[in-house]
Amino acid sequence: MARVQRKDTAAFSVLLGRHGAAVHAFVFRLTGDAADAEDFTQETFLRVWSRAGTWKAGRVKFTTWAYRIARNLCIDAWRTRRGSPADAEVDVEELAGDAPADDAGQTRRALETALAALPERQRTALVLCHHQGWSNREAAEMLEVSVDALESLLSRARRSLRKTLAPYREA
């Protein structure tokens, strides 16, 4: 990262190779849209390049910083488009209520819908810990909340999603 701060494109290319796929997966899990994932991943790394001078070693890990940039881009896009899932609190019980007979595809779609309907912070917490494999402490740093607060977000997210899945499990 020190070399990237000196505008070394070769070092930046290594950084991109090391973290690009994970940031892309993270953004896709947040947005659910392949085109957005591509655009926001590109923009995340362009910001990493242009703002590298503001990153301070020892204060925050590079990954934490990069994930924060990526997440902020997603939030900005949702606000601009006014389709913010954080604002769209969908009633998960309602989603679960009219569940069709079990089928892998239907279960997946129901889960995707429920995941997209979660408030942004709950979804981000779950994506960071479950899909990206970060520890609760690392995810808390990325979200800039305490570990307790993060675990509260995770608990609410998991309870909501389990309610969505319950009818499919029973079927």
Pair 85, 118: CB distance under 8 Å? yes
Reference 32, options 116, 133, 130, 120; nearest CA is 116
| Closest approach of other proteins to the CB of residue 141, in Å | 17
CB-nearer residue toward other proteins: 59 or 133: 133
Task: State how far the Cα of 109 lies from the Cα of 76, in Å rounded to an integer.
Answer: 26
Task: State how far the Cα of 90 lies from the Cα of 119, in Å rounded to an integer.
Answer: 9
| Closest approach of other proteins to the CB of residue 144, in Å | 19
CB-nearer residue toward other proteins: 59 or 141: 141
CB-nearer residue toward other proteins: 59 or 104: 104
Interface with other proteins (CB under 8 A): 7, 9, 12-13, 16-17, 20-21, 24-25, 28-29, 34, 37-38, 41-42, 45-46, 49-50, 104, 107-108, 111-112, 115, 126, 129-131, 135-136, 151, 154-155, 158-159, 161-162, 165-166, 169
Angle at 132 between CA 129 and CA 136, to 5 degrees: 25
Number of neighbouring beta carbons within 10 Å of residue 81? 9
Pair 117, 151: CB distance under 8 Å? no
CB-nearer residue toward other proteins: 84 or 152: 152
| Closest approach of other proteins to the CB of residue 38, in Å | 6
